[in-house]
A and B are shown apart, each in its own frame.
Chain A
Amino acid sequence: MRNKITILVFMALFQITAMLAQERSVTGTVTTSGDEMTLPGVNVLLKGTAQGTVTDMDGNYSISVPENATVVFSSIGFTSKEVVVGNQTQINISLEEDLESLEEVVVTALGIRREKKELSYAVQSIKSEELLEGNSTSMVNGLQGKISGVTVVNSGGAPGSSAIILIRGGSSITGNNQPLFIVDGIPIDNSTSSSLEVASTNRASDINPADIESISVLKGPSAAALYGIQAAEGAVIITTKKGKAGTSLVSYSGSWSMDKILGTPKLQNLYGQGKQVGTGTEIVIDPESELSWGNPIGSAQVFNNIEDFYSTAITQNHNVNYSGGSEKSNVYFSIGDLSQDGIIEGTNYEKTSFKVNANSNFKENLTLGISANYITTKTNSTKQGNASGSSFGSLLAYPPNIDARDYFNPDNSQKRFFLDQQFDNPYWSKANSPNTDEINRLLGVISLNYKFLNDFNLSYKIGIDHYTQFNKKITGDGSFIENREDGYISQFESDHNLLNSNLLLTYQKNITEEFSIDALLGNTVEELDVRTTYATGVGFQAPGIYSIGNVLIENQNISELITRKRTVGLFGQLKLGWQNSLFLTATGRNDWSSTLPADKRSFFYPSVGMSAVITDLLKKSGNDITSPNGLTYLQLRSSWAKVGKDAPIGALESSLGTNINGLASSAYTWNGVNVGNPNLEPEFTNSYEVGMDLRFFQNRIGLDLTYYTSKSENQILRDIRVPPTTGTFYATLNGGSITNKGVEALLRVKVLPAASNLKWDVDLNFGMNDSRVNSLPGFLNEVYLSDSWTFRNSAAGAAILDGSLFGLRGKRPQRNDQGEVIINSNGLPTLADAIFDDVNRLPEWTLGITNAVSYHNFRLSFLLDLVQGNEVYNATESALVYYGLSPKTLDRNEAVVLPGVDSNGNANAISVERNQKFYQDYYSQNAENFIEDGSFTKLRYVTLSYQFPNKIIDNIALSSLELYATGRNLFTITNYSGVDPEVNTFGAGIAGAGSMSIDNLGTPNVQGFDLGLKIRF
């Protein structure tokens, strides 16, 4: 019926137009095929003429056409389409993305979209589908292996664990080395709480990956120069999904996952509970111990307490979103819910996210946008690492002949398995010592955009990132830990508020046919206000009530910290284009920061860059060097940038403390720790990069190469250890320099021709980086962060002078001038803290190989990640040795003559027994024994998906249906002796030299399997 009417109407119109035989109007909306996003800025032209129009913000157009006209729709990055108008008056059309297009558009600093060819620096972006491939529940992990020059290191297998992301290494010895995160033009917080006691989440992971439309990674200072202060480490620009005009779409995606532990360390199970007492021939075994230095177990039952502790975990992830809109406005709304259980029963990570994104063209040239994202996360975890009550740590204290699962007495109290047990059973801790972290976060942005005088655009954005954090770490009453028998509570409550105002004026004009000019002027104001109250209490009065109020007042300790920061930036950019193939860009920015002294508060820094599309330039001068079977495109680019960085908050003053130790005064005194410096200056990073973009065989092969160097000088070093005679343990000062050098390469290959039904795309993301410490202030040869001290302080992450920024210091045998180990009269060397100038905890190179093979409705994708040339410090093994659980200790009590010389240079001949004392005091303390090659090749994921054909889905009233299965972390090839060389037990919360590749009693990584479903209504 309806069709008939349409035909009648059309016929009538045809008659009329035929009679009039003149122009008429055609309207419609242009969308992208696939996800049906509206497409603004599409050229709609009458074929063979220059007449036409472009689509508006919502993809709408209106064009006058003569009879028998053909309209051409074209847009950068999409395959053009021609439509014969015939008698149609409305043509809604979807354009397919042109994956082979040269005219790639990327989001650059401040959310400005630019054609890639204009850019003088490296930017790499990934789209929603690529990010979600592999089914990572964290956005940061979703980037792993997919961006060249970007290193993402997981902390471990606890649910919600942080991941550290480093772009082109790091440039700061003591400061933050992670990039700036921008969501829809507004910076968001990506801090990570300390993971010394429990695994913490980095706050960028709060963003629901399902809401992300695309991520653009600005890899260096050049790309990020306009962001100013925080740009030295690059920036991750996230664009979230928006509603589409003319559509009304509901999508659901869900997945069910199962995870299990990747592995557990190898343990010996021949010797049981006991410790060795006495020396030499008088060694006797005392069975009352948590150590495994006892007698042979013989035929008695043995347990693998570590393996037994972990179980299979289930994760569910559901996302529903609605998107729709009219010509005037559009809206996107989503709910995401993630419920992830940990492989330690009772641990979990729950995240719920609500997002609204609404835009309205409420007046001509004036657009208003509002977006709000409310996120709640809740984490339940067990303690880890060196913390008292650490699950892994206490599992090591269960010898193989003891079953850790046998942990309570008939009266439900905790059971001791030997007399002096002063640690808690991990099962008991799991049940009685809860650790929770709750976040309620609101990200809100209001934006206004006004176009005027044809060439000008003024936009204003104000955004907030506000969250409250409630963190509680409990040791339950009934604990065996000394001084915590009646329980212990440590909690903090934090209110975090980041306000950002952004004003941007742009001007764009094609001055002549050949010259174009783009100018930009902007201002940002950023205010950060963080208020945290910390409370600790010893001993609960009523058992089982884990509240600070349940602790006697005299056993409570409460403190408050307020930190505030205000910065103002003023910046500009000028870009000149010639023949749309030669571009020159210059930027400048001045910042004012509250963290610097008044006279050094203002600082300026510029950048310049150039891009030349050689193939186009030659073509225009008559020398076309492109050919269908050879070169398609060649762009050269180069840029130089300088970016400034301000000081950490509150680093100008030295605050006082009371009762700083059990000897010191109860009145206010200098504390030697919170020591500021009123004379700090801003630090600067100079960077230079050159690159080229090469395409061959009609774009079937693309190669993007970048070489970069950067040098950060006169760094602001916070809390570095100085000689005591300075008057402090830690000082804050300017000094030291870091250089980074590296190569990034991205190779994209379409293995099979476009016409083929079988498609096979391979992306190779290669990155090579060297972060070196060129100088340190004073006579320092290293700067280390005590937060990364490993089990019994055998080593810690450190920046090493003339070595790696991500180096190591630790206990090493003393050597003579010839480099020979000096053996003392007891047959052992003296261990002293020293640097390792050849250890680099960051890989020399990484290569992520993503493959996507599709055939009709099937698609298979996988990521093979190669990480090579990094050293891992295996403190977990050092602990296993200490406890006598390591298979290395099976040669126990055999005699050995250690290689080395005596003080006179004669070869050592003193034999020592490899007994408990040897292993505990010497072997497990000698950091040289636990440095391992951490190179690995990992199959991160394999995903097989099936898109149901239209025939089927039409019948069930769906617009699309896809099923997929993913296997994650399926295999790892490595020589590393521990569970997984990809490890960072202390998490992303450790600044500067960080703690990547330090394996210290954390929850091991997991592998898993997902089943997922994506539906569109």
Chain B
Amino acid sequence: MKVYKYLVLISIVIATSCSKDYFDVNGSETRPTTTSLAPQFRIQGAIENTTGTAQYRGSRELLGVTQYGSKNSTDYYSETWSSSFTTGSYFLWQNAYVYALPNTADLIVLGARYNTPNYTAVGKILRAYIFGMTTDQYGDIVTNDTYDGESSMNITPKFVTQKEVYQTIFELLDQAIGELDEPSPIGLNEEEGDVLYGGNQENWKKFAYSIKARYLNHLTKKTSGEFAYDPDAVLQACALAISSNALNAQQNFGGGAAENDNQPFSANGYGSSRFNYFSSFFVELLKNPLNLGTAVEDPRMKLIVPEAVNGGYHGLPTGRGLSGDSGDEYSLGNGGFYTSPTSPTYMITFSEIKFIEAEARFRKGDPGGAYTAFREGVQEDLEKLGVDSGEIASYLELIDEEVGASTISLSHIMTQKYIANVLNPETWVDMRRMDYSSIIYPGLERPENVNLDIFPGENDWIQAMMYEYNEEDRNYVNMPDNNPSIRLTTPVWWNQPE
């Protein structure tokens, strides 16, 4: 029958057109995708977005909170804990979750797919670092339900407690340390993407131990339970952590024409206008870092703080703004050791490890050990800044004289750590752990024009950040209470006794 002939013909047309390859045209031809690009091409982006996007945002609004810097305008939100802070317009949240964490998730998945555990390990270390930075600012955050490179997008992610986040951080770090010992067919620097350690996996392990030391040290207020503060555990991690300035975890910048080749807080950088002036607290601290009757200036001051146009080194009181003063009276934010085009962004340094060790030994009741670590921390930081060796020697001499093993205090350790960790979001953790004590940080005061609606009492200080309004709009069911008078004033888990 003729009819059948045609039916057969039609079937052939359909059968040929339905073959599997025929439909394989949906993929991206002009750009790589999460699944098409091998891990050695992803590691650089994963590292640089951790520092460039997440950490930049994590430190930008802390400039005023930690009182390293001051804006020229009065009642600037991040200095007086108002407006954008109370409406949830602080965007570390989206930078961490959208720009930084997904790359680490991809590295973990690609590591498994390419049988390269070293890349999985890097993904986990960076992920732990970002989770840590984020939870320290917000408290409860999302860990399991955010993009993991495999599961379907979850648009109603559940929050987990900070305690659980810490658990996750330690697990990720421990797994990564193990995975870095496994063989891998592709080196980390195969495509020159390991901008942190040039493919040296031992250094990555030290970086992992450093983060571990930092997070174990956050638990100083925990006296019991699974996460009770254990100085020995801290010291154990410190022993395996970064062991020289050469191993500092830092992103370097070339200072080239491209914006992202410049330190964000430098004059050519993305956030150049965010750092108007150094704060009066910081500058005064540098003028008398050891809080002596007769002030002795820190040799780092002139390296970190630019001289004011009208001469001298003058910080601007945080929250006050210029209020009619000439800007030429004050020391500009851009241009110092940390704020020049080629200034690195530091994730964690050898000197911080030493200060962590000092704190642990101090708390353990070993002032001698504490002092040794403290002294080394100071020395390493002076060396990091390239302070003249003669000046280093005399500064250390002064410390031996004025501090020493006998009189070392938490204030000495934390003040020096504060000076060594300029722009690092870790400083805010320290200040909260120290309850913003002016005994620990001599001269520390609440900013001018502070938001009295939410912080009426003299001892009320900002304790955590508001979740971003986008999160509140779209995930309000899962999100903890985001009322600013609760969010901004309630200490996070590690800052509360168990």
A520 interface contact, C-beta 8 A: no
In the complex the two chains form, is A655's CB within 8 Å of B32's CB?
yes
Closest to B55 in A: A663
**Contact between A560 and B30, CB atoms less than 8 A apart:** yes
Asked if A654 is at the interface (CB within 8 A of a chain B CB), the reply is yes
Instruction: Please give, as numbers and ranges, the residues of chain A lying within 8 Å of B271 by CB-CB distance.
Output: 663
**Complex contacts, A593 vs chain B, CB 8 Å:** 23
Stretch at the interface among A616-624, A670-678, A1000-1008: A670-678
Q: Is the CB of A731 within 8 A of B48?
A: no
Give the Cβ gap from B36 to chain A, nearest Cβ, in Å: 8
CA distance in complex: A570, B25 (Å)? 20
Q: In the complex, are the beta carbons of A723 and B23 less than 8 A apart?
A: no
Interface string of B32-72 (1 = CB under 8 A from A): 11111100011011111100110010000000000000000
Residues of A within 8 A of B133 (CB): none
Chain A 775-799: CB-based contact to B (< 8 A → 1; otherwise 0): 0011111000000000000000000
B45 proximity list for chain A (CB < 8 A):
656, 658, 664-665, 667-670
Of the listed stretches B166-174, B295-303, B440-448, B474-482, chain A binds B474-482
A598 at the interface (CB under 8 A from B): yes
Q: State whether B260 touches A725 (Cβ < 8 A).
A: no
Cα A594 to Cα B31 in complex, Å, equals: 19
Q: Which residues in A have their C-beta under 8 angstroms from that of B41?
A: 667-668
Give the size range of B's interface with the partner: 35 or more
Q: Contacts A593-B23, A677-B152; is A723 near B99 (CB within 8 Å)?
A: no
Q: Is A521 part of the contact surface with B, judged by Cβ < 8 Å?
A: yes
B496 contacts partner chain A, Cβ-Cβ < 8 Å: no
B263 vs chain A, min Cβ distance (A): 11
One of A55-63, A203-211, A452-460, A973-981 contacting the partner: A452-460
Which of A293-301, A561-569, A957-965 interfaces with chain B?
A: A561-569
Q: How many angstroms between the C-alpha atoms of A668 and B110 in the bound complex?
A: 14
Min distance, Cβ A573 to any Cβ of chain B, angstroms: 15
Question: Is B430 at the interface (CB under 8 A from chain A)?
Answer: no
- Among B14, B35, B257, B471, the residue within 8 A (CB) of A724 is B471
* Interchain CA distance A872-B4 in the complex, whole Å: 59
Q: Shortest distance in angstroms between B362's beta carbon and chain A's nearest beta carbon?
A: 37
- Which A residues touch B259, using CB under 8 A? 662-663
* Other-chain residue from B18, B26, B34, B97 in contact with A650 (beta carbon distance below 8 A): B26
B102 within 8 A of A: yes
CB interface residues, B 105-134, toward A, < 8 Å: 105-106
Are B258 and A669 in contact (CB-based, < 8 A)? no
B residues in contact with A657, CB < 8 Å? 31
Flag whether B385 is at the interface (Cβ < 8 A). no
Q: A727 touching B103 by the CB < 8 A rule?
A: no
Residue on B nearest A595 in the bound complex, by CB: B26
Q: How far is the CB of A538 from chain B (nearest CB, A)?
A: 13
Task: Give Cα A704–Cα B475 distance, bound, in whole angstroms.
Answer: 47
State in angstroms the CA–CA spacing of A727 and B154 once bound together: 9
A interface residue count range (under 10 / 10 to 19 / 20 to 34 / 35 or more): 35 or more
Contacts A456-B3, A592-B23, A665-B52: A570 and B14 contacting too (C-beta < 8 A)?
yes
Question: What is the bound-complex CA distance between A924 and B258, given in angstroms?
Answer: 37
Given known pairs A566-B23, A721-B470, A728-B153, the reply for A458 and B475 (CB within 8 Å) is no
Among A652, A669, A679: residue with most chain B CB under 10 A? A669
A664 to B31, Cβ gap below 8 A? Answer: no
- In the complex, identify which listed stretch (B142-150, B348-356, B365-373) lies at the interface while the others stay far away: B142-150
CA distance A523 to B7 in the complex (A): 11
**Interface presence of B270 (CB below 8 A):** yes
Once the chains bind, are A664 and B44 in contact (CB under 8 Å)?
no
B17 neighbours in A (Cβ, 8 Å): 525, 568
- Check if A725 sits within 8 Å of B157, measured CB to CB: yes
Contact B153 A725 (CB under 8 A): no
B454-497 residues at the A interface, CB under 8 angstroms:
468, 470-471, 473-477
Q: Is the Cβ of B49 less than 8 Å from the Cβ of A664?
A: yes
A27 at the interface (CB under 8 A from B): no
How many angstroms between the C-alpha atoms of A655 and B29 in the bound complex? 10
Measured CA separation A779–B477 after assembly (Å): 7
Min CB–CB distance B396 → chain A (angstroms) = 37
Name the residue on B nearest A731 (C-beta): B153
The answer to whether A492 has its CB under 8 Å from any CB of chain B is: no
User: Chain B residue with minimal CB distance to A601?
Assistant: B23
**A725 and B471 form a contact (CB under 8 A):** yes
* A residues whose Cβ falls under 8 Å from a Cβ of B: 452-453, 456, 458, 503, 505, 521, 523, 525, 554, 559-562, 564-566, 568, 570, 592-595, 598, 601, 649-650, 652-670, 672, 674-677, 679, 721-729, 731-733, 777-781, 830, 832
List of 4 A-B pairs having minimum Cβ-Cβ separation, nearest first: A727-B147, A665-B48, A669-B45, A662-B259
Write the residues of chain B forming the contact surface with A, with a CB cutoff of 8 angstroms.
Answer: 2-3, 6-7, 10, 13-14, 17-18, 20, 22-37, 41-42, 44-49, 52-53, 56, 87, 93-94, 97-99, 101-103, 105-106, 141-142, 145-147, 152-157, 193, 257-261, 264, 269-271, 468, 470-471, 473-477
Q: A664-B48, A724-B94 are in contact. List 7 more A-B contacts (CB 8 A).
A: A655-B32, A656-B37, A676-B33, A723-B156, A724-B97, A726-B146, A733-B153
